[in-house]
Amino acid sequence: MNRIQTRGNIPLCGEVTIQGAKNAALPLMAAAVLHRGTTVLHRCPQILDVEYMSGILRGLGCTVRREGQTLIIDAREISDFCVAAQPATCLRASVLLMGSLLGRCGCARLPYPGGCTIGERPIDLHLQVFERMGAQILPEEEGIGVYAGKGCAKEPGCARADGAAPPDRARLQGCSLRLSFPSVGATENAILGAVLAEGTTELDGCATEPEIAELCRFLNQKGAKIEGVGRQRLVITGVTCLQDSQYTLMPDRIVAGTYLLAAAGTRGRISVRGVCPEHLGALTEVLQKSGAKLKTGRDVICMDAREAYLPVSSVRTEPYPGFPTDLQSQLMVFLTGARGVSTLEERLFESRFLIAGELQKMGAELAIHGRLAVIKGTCGLRGAIVQARELRGGAALVAAGLMAEGETLVLDSHFIKRGYEDICRDLSGLGADIKEL
């Protein structure tokens, strides 16, 4: 089933509970490789990207099994330090295994990471971090080899079949370094590499996304020594081993934001439960400017969007706590229904406007000028056949279908399953006319 059909022009109303965070689950799964034992993740979302990462871990020798919303990872034995090309080329987060395997085995071989087609996403910063920590970087035919010291380079035996480190296995060396850009992935990889490194790592210029703080809390619970959680400067004192642990994942702020914007676009009234409102400050500010009325509690956001018609100018995507790039497509859809001209600037990825042409099929009036989108609100979208090309854009097109007059068919909707457990279930629970075909 790779198509989603909607009949729009129905206000979304009711209550929805948010799944565990995709962008926290994947780094925590990679981090589980650092520990020669068991990791239990509760509230782990049942999405394709988690399945992809589970397959990669199994390929390395881990045992991974699911019990409902709980994922159990047994990493006592690592039989390989080479990440297989499939499904790694489907998953950008596979690059995080570089830090984990370097800490666990002293070496890592990975294909170039894949994922959504939202623009160039080089891993130069990741490699610079590990070079500063004493690693050798060796380009290989189909990927990259990274070795923690000269003794490991080109030696397959640096990872024993039982996963134990050989006596002379080199470790990454703690150091002081500053990231030239607050990259989420590079920050996470640096943390993973530093946890079992020798000495202390002082990391400045870190990204501060909530999912990074989640990774730090998870690792500290396993016995890591990370100070400065949630700040731009982290101090990580290397330890020799970690311990078994259980951890409950934070809610997915992007899924929550998607449903808030979908409801706003249909001029609905919803309550989004199981969220951290402080993680969505940039979005709620935009929604309030549009005329929506919001109330927040400890783990809930309530919104009345019946008067959310005002255009919003000069929204631009930025690292946290700025407006998240993962909600830019959904915001674009919402703004097609505003009464006036809105502008959106994409500052992080150059191909985040992939849905613009699809929205134009639905009657949207918008123009793209490089990294700037100018959206002229219309009287309403029209149902059409549109095509998803990546995760967030696919979810945004579903939201567009819910706003449109008539029937909309979203093709290639499998992209959406990479990050949303069941978008049709969640939205139909809010009154949407939506189904998979």
Q: Determine the average pLDDT of the residues in 238-261.
A: 98
The full 3-state SS of 13-63, as one line of letters, equals EEEEECCECHHHHHHHHHHHHHCCCEEEEECCCCCHHHHHHHHHHHHHCCE
Dist. CA 61–CA 78, nearest whole Å: 5
Dist. CA 282–CA 288, nearest whole Å: 10
Q: Taking a C-beta distance cutoff of 8 angstroms, is the pair 160, 141 a contact?
A: no
Q: Give tens-digit pLDDT for 38-52.
A: 999 999 999 999 999
pLDDT computed for residue 80 by the predictor = 87
pLDDT computed for residue 340 by the predictor = 95
Q: Taking a C-beta distance cutoff of 8 angstroms, is the pair 216, 24 a contact?
A: no
pLDDT computed for residue 89 by the predictor = 80
Dist. CA 266–CA 124, nearest whole Å: 42
Q: Determine the average pLDDT of the residues in 96-105.
A: 96
Kindly indicate the confidence band of residue 150, based on its pLDDT and cuts at 50, 70 and 90: low
Q: Determine the average pLDDT of the residues in 311-323.
A: 95
CA 226: distance to chain centroid? Answer: 22
Tell me the three state secondary structure of residue 291.
Answer: coil
Q: Give tens-digit pLDDT for 178-225.
A: 999 999 999 999 999 999 999 999 999 999 999 999 999 999 999 999
User: Which candidate, 39, 94, 419, places its Cα nearest to that of 248?
Assistant: 39
The full 3-state SS of 340-406, as one line of letters, equals CEEEEECCCCCCCCCCHHHHHHCCCEEEEECCEEEEECCCCCECCEEECCCHHHHHHHHHHHHHCEC
pLDDT computed for residue 122 by the predictor = 73
Tally of CA atoms within 13 A in the half-sphere of 181 that contains its CB: 15
DSSP class of residue 293?
Answer: E
Please state the residue numbers annotated as binding site for UDP-N-acetyl-alpha-D-glucosamine. Answer: 92, 121-125, 326, 348
For residue 375, give both structure tokens: 């959206």
Q: Give tens-digit pLDDT for 110-132.
A: 987 765 543 445 788 999 999 99
Annotated active-site residue 90? The verdict is no
Contacts by 382-387 with C-beta closer than 8 Å and gap 24+? 382/406, 383/6, 383/7, 383/8, 383/407, 383/408, 384/358, 384/408, 384/409, 385/361, 385/409, 385/411, 386/358, 386/359, 386/361, 386/362, 386/410, 386/411, 387/358, 387/411, 387/412
Kindly indicate the confidence band of residue 140, based on its pLDDT and cuts at 50, 70 and 90: confident
Q: Mean pLDDT of all residues in the chain?
A: 92
Which residues lie closer than 8 Å to 345 by C-beta, 6 or more apart?
314, 315, 316, 317, 371, 372, 373
pLDDT surpassing 80 at residue 58: yes
Dist. CA 311–CA 218, nearest whole Å: 40
Please state the residue numbers annotated as binding site for phosphoenolpyruvate. Answer: 22-23
Q: Which of 110-114, 281-285, 369-373 has the lowest mean pLDDT?
A: 110-114
Q: Which of 87-91, 107-111, 217-221, 361-365 has the lowest mean pLDDT?
A: 87-91
Residues 116, 152, 206, 424: which is the catalytic one? 116
* % of the chain with per-residue pLDDT over 70: 93
pLDDT surpassing 50 at residue 103: yes
Q: Determine the average pLDDT of the residues in 311-333.
A: 96
Ordered by where they begin, the domains of the chain are: 4-18+251-436 (3.65.10.10), 22-245 (3.65.10.10)
pLDDT computed for residue 152 by the predictor = 52
Helix (H) or strand (E) holding 301: strand 300-304
Dist. CA 314–CA 86, nearest whole Å: 40
pLDDT surpassing 60 at residue 166: no
Place of tokens 């002229």: 376
pLDDT surpassing 50 at residue 155: no
Neighbours of 178 (CB within 10 A): 12
Q: Give tens-digit pLDDT for 26-39.
A: 999 999 999 999 99
pLDDT surpassing 80 at residue 11: yes
pLDDT computed for residue 160 by the predictor = 38
pLDDT computed for residue 350 by the predictor = 67
* % of the chain with per-residue pLDDT over 90: 84
Q: Determine the average pLDDT of the residues in 404-431.
A: 98
pLDDT surpassing 60 at residue 361: yes
pLDDT computed for residue 348 by the predictor = 86
Dist. CA 346–CA 411, nearest whole Å: 25
How would you classify the pairing of strands 70-74 and 63-67?
antiparallel
The more confidently predicted of residues 152 and 80 is 80
**CB-count exposure of residue 37 (10 Å: 0-12, 13-18, 19+):** middle
Q: Determine the average pLDDT of the residues in 140-152.
A: 78
Kindly indicate the confidence band of residue 139, based on its pLDDT and cuts at 50, 70 and 90: confident
Dist. CA 233–CA 229, nearest whole Å: 8
Neighbours of 437 (CB within 10 A): 11
